[in-house]
Amino acid sequence: MKIPAVQIPPSTLGQASAQRSLPQVLAATAGALAESADALARARSFAEPLIAHEALDSGESMMAHADAVAAILRSIGGSQAMQAASYLVYAGEHLNHPLEVITKAFGESFASLAVETAKLVRVQRLSREAQSDAQLVDDPKLQTENVRKMLLAFSRDLRVVMLRLASRLQTLRYHAASRQTVSPVLARESLQVFAPLANRLGIWQIKWEMEDLAFRFLEPETYRQVARLLDEKRAERESGVERLREGLAAELQGQGIRATVQGRPKHIYSIVRKMRGKALDFDRVFDIRALRVVVPTIPDCYAALSWVHSRFTPVINEFDDYIARPKPNGYQSLHTVVRDAAGKPVEVQIRTQAMHDHAEHGVAAHWAYKEAGTKGYAGVTAAGEYDAKIAVLRQLLAWERDLSGSVQDKGLFDDRIYVLTPDAAVVELPKGATPVDFAYTVHTNLGHRCRGARVDGAMVSLNTPLQNGQTVEITTVREGGPSRDWLNAELGYLVSHRARAKVRAWFNAQVLHETVARGREAVEKLLQREGKTAFKLEDLATQLGFKSADALFEVVGKDEFSLRTIETLLRPPAPVLAPDDYLLLKKSRHGEKTPKGGVLVVGVDSLMTQLARCCKPAPPDVIGGFVSRGKGVSVHRADCSNFREFAARHAERVIPVEWGTSSGAELAVYPVDVAVEAADRQGLLRDISEVFAKEKMNVIGVQTQSVKGTAWMTFTVEVQDSAKLAKVLGVVREVPNVRSARRR
């Protein structure tokens, strides 16, 4: 029956649309309908202007699809409110702000459902588009991420389960009715993911039909062959089953057992699975002829079974008591196979009416589809409703483990578990995870403050491995941090790499805080000594190549950056000398043959010596002296081009010189120039300066120039021995982006 639409006066829409946007008009219209119609009619009227002329990817009318989904939900016991949600899901796709608009018109519960379902539909569509047909041949591994996303979406709002199952069933029905081909990706997803989900929740009515339709598209030839075999003997089989049904009903009545007996439809996919699984011919599949007996009570079930076994010949090893041992999804029934007078097998199922309702509709038969109070369907308003949600979530978790059992590579799913929060949200964890792992997964701060845990209501130690489907509650302190014991692998507090990294990061942050404070103190003391307290710390860090002042304080606090580099930056630069000016080091005292830290002029005392700026010699360089006018003897490296030119012009002024010796307490240092070429980047100057600082070489001058991404730098460093410089230059060349480093 078509759901009646609530009429919206055209004048209302026309007047409103002239002044307000479509979402505003729709929200106002839905609000006006609130008092005059129920949720289902309001939702349909709200959605109709948006989706009446829209089509799904399959080509099916969006409005017709929503009507059909609502009808499927109605057939399995879904309330009018649940059916109404089927329209809002599709309407939300055509709103700019679906959450806000639907919340205003129908409440937060419906808005959340529409958004979550639409989000999952998009994820599944993208997943299908990313997979090729060739990849999907009997390979459920490729459904792993899809299953995970579905599971997490279901945990946020359990109504998504029913909406997705009903929507997928309608899609398959549409393709079958219109004789359109279904993509192998969608058909296999229906068979490997959606049908097992319906099975786990006990919704057999959807499970069987979805399996048959998906199998019809995946293996059309096999489907037609089995269908033909069923049709060939349909009349004979149905007449035989009807005679058995009438006779069994009458005889049970005669035994004082009130029973409803009916023939049970046989599904093609289950026949094929049984033929393949047990290597049977079609004629040997026992439950092609089947009866279902529904009685008032459990004792009546066993009384009916006893009479059936006495009336017919039971087939050995074909009896299952699912009342005493229910299936994991809650299914209960007695199954037996007997032979009639002609020796033909007949399957008989015996159950109570409550068992039958659960078998047909599963969670829909008892799940809280009634209005859920002020918190809506996703909220928890009573203990019973909360328990129902937990029960269903645990069935969903078990469904995921069911799927893992069909994968040959068991390690694919065995690496993780799902547990529940006290609010019944699903949390994914690695296998063997503990309550501490759980706390860090929920929120980093919850992990830091974790001090105890309850699992399914019982207190446990924090290193207790969690199991799939358990409910975990964390006890916290107001302030505090993690324990160092948690990082001890032998104690087993942490399994998750992410949780372990968060604990390490907390302790590293504590150490870093102390290091930065130490570095800040050292830099601020230096600024006080230099009379530069007005210098902004951030500006100082930027000039030294650091991203922030804290970054500078960190390396200073670690003793990885010399404060003398900061002193050099703070002090005004020395005046630039002309090329033929020289740096005067020391004048020899009268009578000293070996000046301290200076140069000995062979055979001559009391001559003033100076190191040439052009080549900056340092021990143990081979050196030569040149007598300059008014400036004493200038000392050059023997390979200095200037020295060779002077010697060629004025050979008579060349004089032998050699390095003097220095006492241990007053070791002389010599300035040398180092030229560095590198690809320019942020922090390059800082990184090279750190090398010299670590090697205990004082940098007394720096000149830099950057052109088109290439940086040329000249560092003037003080050395006692130029031989050590070669080793340091090797380290400089290892700095990222440095192309060459050499002495000038």
Query: What are the boundaries of each domain within the chain?
Result: 10-215, 228-365, 505-570, 583-666, 670-743
Tell which wins on pLDDT, 474 or 611: 474
Mean pLDDT check: name the lowest of 71-85, 122-136, 659-673, 705-719. 122-136
Whether omega for the bond prior to residue 620 falls within 30 degrees of 0, making it cis, is: yes
> Distance between CA atoms of 264 and 278, rounded to whole angstroms?
22
10-215 and 228-365, same CATH topology: no
Higher pLDDT among residues 131 and 434, named by residue:
434
Question: At residue 140, does pLDDT exceed 60?
Answer: no
Residue 73 corresponds to which tokens in the numbers above? 């939900």
Indicate the residue type of 106.
Answer: F
Name the pLDDT band for 461 (thresholds 50, 70, 90): very high
At 126, the pLDDT band (50, 70, 90 cuts) reads low
Better-predicted residue by pLDDT, 119 or 265: 119
Tens-place pLDDT, residues 382-426 = 334 455 556 666 666 666 555 555 444 443 445 677 787 887 667
Regarding predicted confidence, which is higher, 80 or 489?
489
Give, to the nearest 10 degrees, the angle between helix 684-694 and helix 563-570: 120
Dihedral class, residue 739 (left if φ above 0, else alpha if ψ from -120 to 50, else beta): alpha
Please list, in sequence order, all residues whose beta carbon lies within 8 angstroms of the beta carbon of residue 497, skipping any fewer than 6 positions away: none
Q: What is the mean pLDDT of the chain?
A: 76
Among 204-213, 435-444, 558-567, 717-726, the range of highest mean pLDDT = 435-444
Q: What is the pLDDT of residue 11?
A: 34
Amino acid at 510: Q
For the domain 10-215, what is the CATH code?
1.10.3210.10
Q: Decide if pLDDT at 271 tops 70.
A: yes
- Helix or strand or coil: residue 436? helix
| 98: pLDDT strictly greater than 60 | yes
Element (H, E) at 648: helix 641-649
Q: Picking from 22-36, 173-187, 594-608, which range would have the lowest pLDDT averaged per residue?
A: 22-36
Across 613-620, average pLDDT = 85
- E strands, 411-471, are 416-420, 426-430, 450-455, 458-460
- Compute the distance between CA of residue 170 and CA of residue 69 in angstroms, rounded to an integer: 6
- pTM of full prediction above 0.75: no
Say if residue 459's pLDDT is above 80.
yes
Reported confidence tier of residue 572, pLDDT bands at 50, 70, 90: low
Residue 182 has pLDDT above 90, yes or no: no
- Tell me the CA distances in angstroms from 77 to 84, 172, 216, 435, 509, one per residue in order: 13, 21, 27, 39, 56
Tell me which amino acid residue 603 is. G
Q: For residue 316, what are the contacts with CB-CB under 8 A and spacing of at least 6?
A: none
How far apart CA 607 and CA 590 sit, in angstroms, is: 9
The region of weakest confidence among 167-171, 528-532, 614-618 is 528-532
**CATH of range 670-743; options 3.40.50.300, 3.40.640.10, 3.30.70.260, 3.10.450.710:** 3.30.70.260
Looking at per-residue pLDDT, the higher value among 228 and 394 belongs to: 228
Answer positive or negative: Cα dihedral of 123, 126, 131, 133: positive
Alpha carbons 562 and 541: distance in angstroms, whole number = 13
Question: Is pLDDT above 80 for 33?
Answer: no
Q: Which helix (H) or strand (E) holds 645?
A: helix 641-649
Q: Hey, which residues does 416 pair with through a beta bridge?
A: 430
Name the most confidently modeled range: 119-123, 257-261, 340-344, 409-413.
257-261
pLDDT number for residue 6:
33
Q: What is the mean pLDDT of residues 99-103?
A: 88
In the 8-state DSSP scheme, what is residue 691? H
pLDDT band at 133 (very low <50, low <70, confident <90, very high): very low
More confident residue, 35 or 341: 341
**What gap in Å lies between CA 628 and CA 237, rounded to an integer?**
127
Conformation bin of residue 458: beta by default, left when phi > 0, alpha when psi is -120 to 50: beta
Euclidean distance between CA atoms 319 and 452, whole angstroms = 48
> Residue type at 537?
L
Nearest to 212 by CA among 235, 229, 187, 234: 187
146 pLDDT higher than 70: no
Residue 458 above 60 pLDDT?
Answer: yes
Q: Of 157-171, 249-263, 365-379, which gets the smallest average pLDDT?
A: 365-379
| pLDDT: which is higher, 125 or 237 | 125
With beta carbons less than 8 A apart as the criterion, state whether 671 and 718 touch: yes
Which residue bears the tokens 């058995």?
A: 244
Of 347-361, 369-383, 483-497, least confident by mean pLDDT is 369-383
User: Does 424 or 116 have the greater pLDDT score?
Assistant: 116
Q: State mean pLDDT over 705-716.
A: 83
Bridge partners (DSSP) listed for residue 134: none
Mean pLDDT value of segment 183-198? 83
Secondary structure (DSSP) of 276-321: HHTT--GGG-GGGSEEEEEESSHHHHHHHHHHHHHHSEEPTT--EE
Q: In this prediction, what percent of the chain has a pLDDT beyond 90?
A: 16
Instruction: Return the higher-pLDDT residue of 158 and 693.
Output: 693
Answer CATH for 228-365 from 3.30.460.10, 3.40.50.2000, 3.40.50.150, 3.40.50.300: 3.30.460.10
